[in-house]
Amino acid sequence: MQRAVEVASFHQNELRAVTTLSPEAERRAAVLTAAGTAGVVLAAMIAGAVLVSLRGTVVHAPTFLVAWLGVAAAVAVLAARRAAGRARRFVVGAALDADCFGSSEVDLVRRGAAGYELTLVPGMTGIIEAGRSPLPVESLVASGPARLALPLDGRVWIRLGPANWVLRHLARPLKGPDLPWCERMARGWASLRRSMPMVAVALPIAMLATLFGSTPAATALGDKEMRSLIPAGATPWEIEQQIRAQAQRQASSLHRCFDPMPLSCQKPGFVAVGLSLSKQGDILSHWVSRSTYAADCPVTDCMADSAAAWFFEPLPEPMRLVLPIQVKRTNKPLHQPGPAVATGLSIE
């Protein structure tokens, strides 16, 4: 197991922070960041479910769950990889997510395949304890940036402007409980904060998928809505009352029969329309049983044709019945014809 690296940061010879790099810290940062980002997405999922419920919208459950859980998993994986990659580096620079301020942007220490590496740039000074004689940093950066393995024994002193650092390998692998609690919380929160822009990009994707899989509650049809309102054991009288109620809700279309008629036909009357219904509620045939309108007012045929377009709930058995339609009209001037309004199984 690779040994942990301790980086002590000083500013004008005053200790500011001590940072520990280790594979254990990388795994911990990855787990905490994945759990945190996934928790934020799942909290947004719950809030979205509550919101669509309050707005009276029905959401396709598989689409909703696949979209949100898929986004949560993708964000968690990407955030974990990003957090682990960031936890293996000690960054110096002026960026907001840098571990320490410095005049140059550089990964001072990073873990590679062979262990931890030290990156040096021109302008740095200090001493590297390697073997019997210390190695001055200035000699290594005379021709440009240099990268070398961090010595397993001894310490490294580096200065860059007013900032300086002391680096060393710890004597034994560092475990989670060995880290101070405040440092674990600070580094975990920093990793989660860096992943928030990723969460902000992912949430609209899940919301868009939810939008495509939703429909207003008024148009959502389920088993309950598709079930017939007429019970199987209903009596013929109860069935006829149900059919009359369904016809009454559709009687508003009958005003079209009177609107183009002359004023002489705009008068009260009575029309009895016969219907032959199948077991599925379809109209097999229709006819006019009785009517009080004369042949010069083609209201009878028009009303029969309009009623033929009606639809009814499935019936326990086929049946024939006559629907009496009472017409109530008020005398109106020719230049102000009024539409018919359905009241009960009658039209005005």
Is residue 133 over pLDDT 60?
Answer: yes
Q: Can you give the pLDDT at residue 336? A: 46
Place of tokens 């990009």: 201
Query: What is the pLDDT averaged over residues 39-66?
Result: 83
Least confident of 105-114, 145-154, 251-260, 290-299: 251-260
Domains of the chain, residue spans: 5-214, 236-347
Q: Can you give the pLDDT at residue 19? A: 87
Q: In whole angstroms, what is the distance from residue 104 CA to residue 17 CA? A: 19
Q: Can you give the pLDDT at residue 181? A: 56
Number of H helices, E strands in the chain: 7, 17
Least confident of 53-67, 168-182, 330-344: 330-344
Confidence of residue 343 (pLDDT cuts 50, 70, 90): very low
Q: Can you give the pLDDT at residue 161? A: 86
Confidence of residue 187 (pLDDT cuts 50, 70, 90): low
Q: Which residue has the higher pLDDT, 336 or 21?
A: 21
Average pLDDT, the chain: 79
Q: Which residue has the higher pLDDT, 255 or 225?
A: 255
Region for residue 43 given its phi and psi (left: phi exceeds 0; alpha: psi -120 to 50; beta: otherwise): alpha
Neighbouring CB atoms inside 10 A of 18's CB total 12
Q: At what angle do helices 61-87 and 181-212 cross, to 10 degrees?
A: 150
Query: What is the pLDDT averaged over residues 205-230?
Result: 61
pLDDT in tens, 22-43: 888 888 889 888 988 898 899 9
Query: What is the pLDDT averaged over residues 153-178?
Result: 80
Q: Which span out of 65-69, 211-215, 261-265, 302-306 was modeled with the highest average pLDDT?
A: 65-69
Tokens coding 125: 């000074």
Is residue 119 over pLDDT 70?
Answer: yes
Query: What is the pLDDT averaged over residues 2-19?
Result: 87
pLDDT in tens, 70-111: 999 999 999 999 989 988 999 998 887 788 888 888 999 999
Q: Which residue has the higher pLDDT, 267 or 68?
A: 68
Q: Which residue has the higher pLDDT, 226 or 158?
A: 158
Q: Can you give the pLDDT at residue 118? A: 92
SS3 of 263-326: the string is HHHCCCEEEEEEEEECCCCCEEEEEEEEECCCCCCCHHHHHHHHHCCCCCCCCCCCEEEEEEEE
Q: One-letter amino acid identity for 78?
A: L
Q: Which residue has the higher pLDDT, 186 or 211?
A: 211
Report CA torsion sign: 274, 276, 281, 284. Answer: negative
